[in-house]
Amino acid sequence: MKELFSEDSCRQQVAAFLGIEPQSLLASTHLFHELSMDSLGIFSLGMHLIKTFGIKIPLSEVSNIATYGDLYEAMERHRKELA
């Protein structure tokens, strides 16, 4: 069973995946510059979030994700499409 998606659950999952404290993950936190993620890391995080929440972000949108806020907004937009 997939986990219920919310801002808190998304923050918890992303923070756990990255090995950081959830409160340090702000909407403005830059995934590449501040968290040193690369494209493979973003892909792996995306796969983790798909397994956790069942929400898929099209590859065409992934290149537009720079911050945690961008990631959350994209997931929220596609979650609504599933409803």
Residue-wise pLDDT for 7-61, tens only, equals 999 999 999 999 999 999 999 999 999 999 998 998 899 999 999 999 999 888 8
Radius of gyration of the chain (CA): 12
Q: What is the pLDDT of residue 41?
A: 92
Question: What tokens were used for 4?
Answer: 């219920």
Q: What is the count of structural domains for the chain?
A: 1
In a domain, 59, yes or no: yes
Range of the domain at 53: 7-82
In a domain, 28, yes or no: yes
Q: What is the pLDDT of residue 60?
A: 87
Distance CA 50, CA 74 (A): 13
CATH of the domain at 40: 1.10.1200.10
Q: Full-prediction pTM beyond 0.85?
A: yes
DSSP codes joined into one string, the chain: -PPPP-HHHHHHHHHHHHTS-GGG--TT-BTTTTT---HHHHHHHHHHHHHHH-----HHHHTT--BHHHHHHHHHHHHHHH-
In a domain, 1, yes or no: no
